[in-house]
Structures are given as structure tokens and as C-alpha cells.
Amino acid sequence: MDQKMVLVTGGTGFIAQHCMLALLSQGYQIRTTLRNLSREAEVRENLKTGGAEPGDLLSFVAADLGSDVGWAEAMRGCTYVIHCASSTPSGNYATQNDWNKPAVEGNLRVLRAARDAGVKRLVLTSAFGAVGCGHEPLNRPFNDNDWSNLQSDLAPYQRSKTLAEQAAWDFVKQEGNGLEMTAVNPTTVLGPALGPDYSHSIRMIKNMLEGQPGIPRLNSCFVDVRDVADLHVRAMLAPTADGERFLASAGESLWLADVARILRRRMGPSASKVSTRVLPNWLVRLGARKNPQLKAIAPLLGVNMNATSAKARARLGWKPRSAEDAIVAAAESLVRLNLLGA
């Protein structure tokens, strides 16, 4: 087994590509999975935008979370797996199980393949959605020991991420046969886009820069994707990280109005269309009756989602950029790559 071979699942993903950049900078050989190998050139171009041209250090295998095909080949010879791939909701999911089943089964499929291939450790990209949702207001920041409350009215995405991570931990405990696992739970991930296929979080910044007429009263912590990638690599290598979860947050939470003000202050003419008008909660809830996206955020209106990454900093020596720098880096990349509408 090649001690320098790492499988990164979901190679078209925002976090996955930054994980590949972090690994390449440290000399690792990488294999990544794609649902369709026709996107190899796109991935290589995005990595080039990020400053890397890996050549033969990067290889590709066709594998889909919904099928066993390809996963044994993808795992072969790998010491580590960074599992970033996740099922992507189409927006047409009819039931909660339409969300839960692919999320849970996808994680278990990758874990089984990793165990059977003798992988040493798998780092699971989970989410803050599995940590801090569905709770009554807390008088403290959320931390790595918290789990989203499955007894509450969780949004489908948050419920599926919680169930998927819990299923992964149960598998490792009961059937892992020595496979190590660590989970990274990022808060809202920003930082530089590498191409036009970027994250939902960066789309939020894009909407603001393009003149979205007002912003809901939402609160979140933020983190730069480059620091999320760095945390994945640290979690992959640190002996004490086995069996642990690590929240990734750059600092205190911000309201979206704070984000808008940062853009106005730091982005100059590029932020001339950014509105700092906070939409009243009643108006957002009214719109949620017909708009699925607003319906998903309605339960979070006015809720403080502060979280701490003290454990990652203390245990792994992780030192993230500021939330403001992550916000500005996302905005600058949208301008630099000409990804903003007129």
C-alpha cells in the first residue's frame, strides 16, 4: 500500500478540489472519483486555477454513491480516504426518505469499500447541519459534541446529514474492523471559487453582489475552504484524531447583514449593488409558503448559530483565516473569474 496515495471522493466538488490542492502541495499522489469521467478536464482546469498542475500525480475512477461499481478500484492501494462526495438533491425530492436514503447508503457504501481495501483512515466531510440545528436557543456556542435534534422539525438536508454521519459512526464501531474515521463539520464554507461549478454558500455571495433585494435575518459562522481542506489533512494524519469530530469555524458567528456590510466596505465598486436591507421575518415566512428555498431557511430566522472550533485549534494546531477574509476571498474570486451577471 502506497503511504502517499489518498482517495478524494467527489472530485468535482468545491471542498474536494481544495483538499486535492492541499494534498498536492504536500506531495501526495491522489485518486479521485467522478460520476462521469468526461469532467476530468474540468477538474484539472480548476486545479490549475488553484495553482496546481498535478499531471500523473492525479488519476480518476468512475464511481457513483448510488452504486457499488468502481469503489473497489478507487480504494485500491490507498492508505487514506477523504470522503467529500455527497448525494446532490435535485430539488424535486418528494419525501424525507428521498433525502435520507442516498445520504446514508452513500456513506456506508464508501465505508465498506474502504474497510475491505484495508484503508487506514477515512476523513468524512460532514456538516454543521449535523451539529447545531433543531435546538432551543443555547447560551453557549455549539461544539463538536453537539448533534442536531432529530426530534425537531429539521429541514430535509440537515436531517439527512445528521443521519448519514450517525450511520457512519455506527458502521465504524460495529463493522469497521479497525478502519479509523474522523469527521470534519464545516460551518458555512466560503473562500475562492475555482470555476463556475461552485458551492451553494458562494452562490449566496453571488446573489448579494448581483443586487439581491434585501437579506433574511440569518446567522452563521463562516470558514475559508482552504482552511477546511487544511483541517481535513490534519485530521487524516494526526494519531489523536481517530474517532473524533472537528467543527470548522473561523470565529464568532455573523448575521447576513454583517456579511453585506463587509462586502460593501471591502469590495468597492464590485459591491455597489449589495443591499444591507434586512427583510422582516414575516415577509420571508410569507414567501416560504410557495418558495421551497425560503421554506428551508424559515426555521432559522433570528436564530444565533454560533459555534466554536476550539477543539480543532487545540488538538490539531489548526489556525484558520478570519471569516471576513473568507467572505472577501469568495467575492474576489467571483469577480476574477467573471462569474457575476451584468
Q: Is residue 159 part of a domain?
A: yes
- Helix 200-209 vs helix 323-336: crossing angle, to nearest 10: 70
How many folded domains does the chain comprise? 1
- The beta-strand segments (E) located in the chain are 2-9, 29-34, 58-62, 78-83, 121-125, 180-186, 188-190, 219-220, 222-224, 245-248, 254-255
What is the model's pLDDT at position 87? Answer: 75
The answer to whether 208 and 215 have CB atoms below 8 angstroms apart is yes
What is the model's pLDDT at position 14? Answer: 97
What is the model's pLDDT at position 176? Answer: 94
Residue type present at position 74: A
Backbone angles phi, psi at 35, to 5 degrees: -70, -30
Q: Please, what's the b/e burial string for 119-143 (b: 16 or more CB within 10 A of its CB; e: otherwise)?
A: bbbbbbbbbbbbbbbbeeeeeebbb
Whether the full predicted model's pTM is greater than 0.75, yes or no, is: yes
Q: Which residue is it, cell 501526495?
A: 28
Lowest mean pLDDT among 12-26, 148-162, 212-226: 148-162
Q: Is residue 228 part of a domain?
A: yes
Confidence of residue 185 (pLDDT cuts 50, 70, 90): very high
pLDDT at 163 over 80: yes
**pLDDT tens-digit map of 27-85:** 999 999 999 999 999 999 999 999 999 999 999 999 999 999 999 999 999 999 999 99
Q: How many CB atoms lie within 10 A of CB 94?
A: 7
pLDDT at 148 over 80: yes
Residues pairing with 190 in the sheet = 224
Distance CA 99, CA 27 (A): 37
The Cα angle at residue 173 between residues 169 and 176, in degrees rounded to 5: 100
Confidence of residue 3 (pLDDT cuts 50, 70, 90): low
Cell numbers of 109, please?
457504501
Lowest mean pLDDT among 271-275, 293-297, 322-326: 293-297
Residue type present at position 299: P
Residues pairing with 5 in the sheet = 29
Q: How many CB atoms lie within 10 A of CB 285?
A: 16
Distance CA 19, CA 227 (A): 9
Domain limits for position 9 = 2-191+224-250+306-321
The answer to whether 19 and 233 have CB atoms below 8 angstroms apart is yes
Q: Is residue 82 part of a domain?
A: yes
Distance CA 143, CA 245 (A): 9
Distance CA 31, CA 9 (A): 8
Mean pLDDT of 159-178: 96
Q: Is residue 199 part of a domain?
A: no
Q: Is residue 285 part of a domain?
A: no
Q: Is residue 288 part of a domain?
A: no
**CATH assignment at residue 72:** 3.40.50.720
What is the model's pLDDT at position 137? Answer: 81
What is the model's pLDDT at position 141? Answer: 96
What is the model's pLDDT at position 154? Answer: 84
49: Cα separation from own chain's centroid: 20
What is the model's pLDDT at position 119? Answer: 97
Distance CA 251, CA 224 (A): 11
- pLDDT exceeding 70 applies to what percent of the chain? 97
Q: Is residue 284 part of a domain?
A: no
Q: Is residue 197 part of a domain?
A: no
Backbone angles phi, psi at 96, to 5 degrees: -60, -35
Distance CA 119, CA 79 (A): 5
Residue type present at position 275: S
Mean pLDDT of 140-157: 92
**pLDDT tens-digit map of 229-258:** 999 999 999 999 999 999 999 999 999 999
**pLDDT tens-digit map of 107-116:** 999 999 999 9
The Cα angle at residue 130 between residues 221 and 233, in degrees rounded to 5: 70
Q: What is the mean pLDDT of the chain?
A: 94
Cell numbers of 309, please?
472550533
